[in-house]
Structure 1
Amino acid sequence: MKIKKAIHNSFKIHSNFLDNIILNFDTKGETYGNQDRNSLKLFDLEGKSINVKSFRVPNIINQIAYKFFRKSKAHRSFEYANKLLELGVETPQPIAYYEFTTPFLFKNSFYISEQQDCDLTYRELTINLNYPDHESILRAFTRFTFELHEKSIHFLDHSPGNTLIELNKGDYKFYLVDLNRMAFKPLDFKTRVKNFAKLTIHKSMIEVMSDEYAKCTGKDYNEIFNVMWEETQAFQAKYHNKQRLKKRLKFWKRM
């Protein structure tokens, strides 16, 4: 098995430690967060908590694609994190990525970053509409998203769990995570507004975000709301259709 890695200049002094935790990932570290799709663990590095994300081995088609044609999720996460920081957008400090391959296939990969503490994620705003200062946080988040768009950042996984929020006594700070799906190019109006489609099912939240985005852009509120609400409903319909299909496939497999 061949190993490819890249370590941030600030952490190259710890390369032996990083090698060790990757090679012994299955037996070391503290399990953290949701383990359904990928595995997350925390490790201590001289009193600093670091987060290691192990991406599961992809299907055979993607094993070929990642080996010869595409950058891996770990590689992209590392690259995009550095790019975001260069552009003045907060994300947990990237540390390294590792890839394991055979001569003809890609196997698994790891992305390492500093563990970022937060007070909440955007998801809490969708669960508790009475969260303290809910509207104030939501408007600040909308301005943050506008700033992403102005910097030609298209966060394709702009979804409830992927923005960490620090309350910071009302001077809110937002950190992007799960970075492997991003694009850096100017965004047209519809693409910008559609970027809110995965965030909430609540019309009241769409109304607030539409109002704040209209203030940021100088565009008509109704025009923004109509597109944002339409795209939100379209995403929800597509999502639920996909879930129903998965349930049917699981049922057929059990028969």
Structure 2
Amino acid sequence: MSAPLVDRLELPAGGERFAGRHEVVAGTLLLEGERLPVVVKKVPVDWRQRLAGRTKARRSFETARALLERGIDTPEPLAAETVGGEGWFVARLLPEARQVREWFRHRYEPGFPEPGLPIPFGDVVGGLGRLARRMHDSGVFFRDLTDGNVLVTEEAGRPRLWLVDLNRARVGTRPVGFWNRLRDLSRPGVNALADRRLLVAAYLGPGRPVGPTLVLVTLLRARIRGWDELKRVLRPWRR
């Protein structure tokens, strides 16, 4: 039987921390004689998780394994345990990965720095569309396909996209239904119509008419942006 997770983890004081609603830190995991660079996400265990009998950390671990079985990239899941009143999910660190939001913010926000990897915006958006299609066809409804939950690495000058923050995803045995596909496609921050057309075209594949799907995704995207703005007004402390 392996030692408790806290005895196998090294989390240096002042180590790298990642932006997000919950504490996400870099560390080192001792596993079968190896020292692996990892990311640890710590989520408080509330009454709903206790009632369900499964923490968000455990759900993330199981979802990550299901994604990998379907050929969908996500950082390798290594452990999930309850530590004190928190669920800790441990995954392999992708050292050079950047959030897809860097490309979107550079595109739409004047003065925002260039992304940390030299990959064209169109290649990233096209890759995101194709990733979403594979995900949906394999039965994965992500539910939170936002800019902070997609990482980008570079391989031979091309983007490779990875899904993270998996606890809200739902994995089924059948392809995802039409409406839920639209819900996922409307989540990424692709705010210009021409760029959204590129996303939808990559999702649908060559030769497929883009117009009807693009209209629906655009309407849903406008609804999401309006709701986000309302939340910023009503809950300024959560900015």
Same fold (TM over 0.5): yes
State how far apart, in whole Å, the 2-side matches of 1:43 and 1:77 are.
18
Match of 1:96 among 58, 76, 79: 79
2: distance between equivalents of 1:243 and 1:178?
22
Q: What number of residue pairs does the alignment pair up?
A: 221
**Structure 1 counterpart of 2:64:** 81
Instruction: Name the residue aligned to 1:158.
Output: 145
The 5 A counterparts of 1:200-211 are: 200=189, 201-211=191-201
SS in 2 for 1:136: helix
Residue aligned with 1:124, SS:
helix
Corresponding residue number in structure 2 for 1:178: 165
RMSD (CA atoms): 2.5
Asked whether the equivalents of residues 70 and 138 of structure 2 are also in contact (C-alpha less than 8 Å), the reply is: yes
Q: What do the CA deviations read for 1:77-122 (whole angstroms, capped 9, x no partner)?
A: 1111111111111111111111157xxxxx3211111111334321
The CA deviation string for residues 145-175 of structure 1, in whole angstroms up to 9 with x for no partner, is 1111111111111110111112212343211
Unaligned residue ranges in structure 2 (runs of 5+): 108-113
Residue aligning to 1:8: none
- The gaps in structure 1 that reach 5 residues or longer are 1-11, 102-106, 251-255
TM (norm. structure 1) is 0.77
Secondary structure of the residue aligned to 2:21 is: coil
Normalising by structure 2, report the TM-score: 0.82
Taking a change above 3 Å as real, the CA distance of residues 31 and 135 of structure 1, as seen in their structure-2 partners, is closer
Q: Of residues 82, 90, 104 in structure 2, which corresponds to 1:112? A: 90
2-structure distance, mates of 1:85, 1:164: 15
Deviation at 1:226, TM superposition (A): 0.1
Moved over 4 A (4+): none
**215 and 31 in structure 1: CA distance in 2 versus 1, 3 angstrom threshold:** closer
Q: Structure 1 or 2: larger helix share?
A: 1
- 2:17 paired with 1:64: no
| Counterpart secondary structure, 1:190 | helix
Does structure 2 conserve the Cα–Cα contact (< 8 Å) formed by 1:97 and 1:109? yes
Change (3 A) 1:64 1:88: same
* Structure 1 counterpart of 2:101, from 123, 141, 147: 123
Q: Percent identity?
A: 21
User: Which one of 16, 25, 42 corresponds to residue 26 of structure 2?
Assistant: 42
Q: Deviations over 1:188-229 (max 9, x none)?
A: 22321221212113323212112222326x642110110110
